[in-house]
Structure 1
Amino acid sequence: MIFWCEKVEGGTKPFLNDVEITQLQNELNVQFPKSYIEKLKKQNGGQVVFNAISVDFENTWSEPDFTLHLPFYAMESLTYDTYNLYKGILPEWGIHGKNMIFAESEGIYWYYFKFSDDSNNPSIWCLDISDVSNHLVAYSFDELLTKLYVQKSEPLDLDDVFVGFPTMEEIYEIVEGNDEDAILEAYSYWMTLRQDIKGLVRELIKKIEQSDDEDMLDAYAMYLTEMMVNSSGSESISFEEVISLFNKKSSIVNLNAQVSRLREEVFGG
């Protein structure tokens, strides 16, 4: 079965590194699914030939009266830097335990392995931040592969997906406050809405420059990296300037994963 798109988006993908696989498995005390590793040996992340995954629960993406599904376009590379880049996302939304993100779509749907029940055969879950819900997608990676398909109908309009989100005025008010947890959540909504990108980039830069808190710096840097790579953040500041900013905070927090991702975007490979 053809799985990967022939055209690789986002530059050359890194080769799968056996040493990093062992390092990650030892750190998580798990075994990655055999079929998952086999896919990544052929290509370590990137666009797939599918665009949807069949699900059995109501969600914020499927059109009424159509087959229940979620978007699924690509998988992340399996590297230690990628793992470090994404490992803080699930805890920010109240999901803890032995987990690892391996794919995302639309900046809203985060797919991850849940190893808590079985360290050798994780179930597949999806965090939907548009309504802050969490869903079982498949009982194994092999089952997930059987659920992927090409959805030809038009997806639900994103304006409908964002019903229930705070307004931009409310987000601006929250980020001017002092509740760090609320501020991080507001930034997540702001990123998802993709409005006033330049304003969000300015806010994140200001927070990184002013903060001396390791956890907050890590979160702000992750958000800014996401905006630079997947949005138009580079219209406000260059990749080189962001890398320099992250390096200035190296005495407080290790941002090497974010720096590596930014360098890969600039130089490829």
Structure 2
Amino acid sequence: MFVWVNEVEDDYKLPKTSEVEINKIEKQLNTELPASYKEILLEQNGGTIKFNSVKKENHLETNAYFEINHIYGCGQGGILDSDYLIDEWGLPKNILIFSGDGNSFFALDYRKDSVNPPVIYLEPETEEIIEVAHTFDDFLNNLSKEEVFFENDEDNEDWGTSEEAAETIFSGNDILLIEVTLLNLQYPENHKWYFEQLLKCAIHSEVLIRETVTNILNNNLEIYIIESDKNLHFLLKEIIEKLIADKNESISSEAREIRKRIKYKHF
């Protein structure tokens, strides 16, 4: 699973690491990292992730999510800062912080399991500690991109909701606004129009937009197949094929997995 945005300038991204270096840091911390954590660190040593939230496991609310946008790398400025953060914020011992900004943190809780620790969410101010996932594998599987809405901005009140306004955004150069608009409209009434916009964005020059299209399909394709007119399913096929042909290997690989998972017999 490739989780990284892969930006050149990224405050959370550390120099490339290796299995040898990770083993050294594990010995230094007297801790064994989950295999899936080490796997993503070998792909990229920390950084901004292409998701913005993680779903709370076993929670009754369907929209129960924690915000997250980065994962620490292996080294100074990454997980080696965990002990300092624990002391600074008065957090429990025997945990390993792997994401956070001072207001809240995500950590591996070795107090409960020294081999396969659960992931917890901590808020220093409220002293709240919540188990987010039973394992780091589950944590990765529960990462998602959720809708982002503008707050207290009258000028943007209708942006990203009307088709005309959205098309203006899609034809512009504000990459983050395009991403937000795609996410805000991912449960459309007009499936034909939205699928056409996804198809255009599937060949966008910016990798972040193409990754957003991939994530939207990965999370919603079954719903789109059920809820949209069968005569529109060819658009979904075209989007998947465009993504499979993408020069970015992570996008292409994820699109192939989508095709493998769905199989065109379901269309």
In our comparison, the structure showing a higher alpha carbon Rg is 2
Q: Which has the higher contact order (CA 8 A, sep 6+)?
A: 1
Give the TM-score of the pair, scaled to structure 2: 0.49
TM-score w.r.t. length of structure 1: 0.49
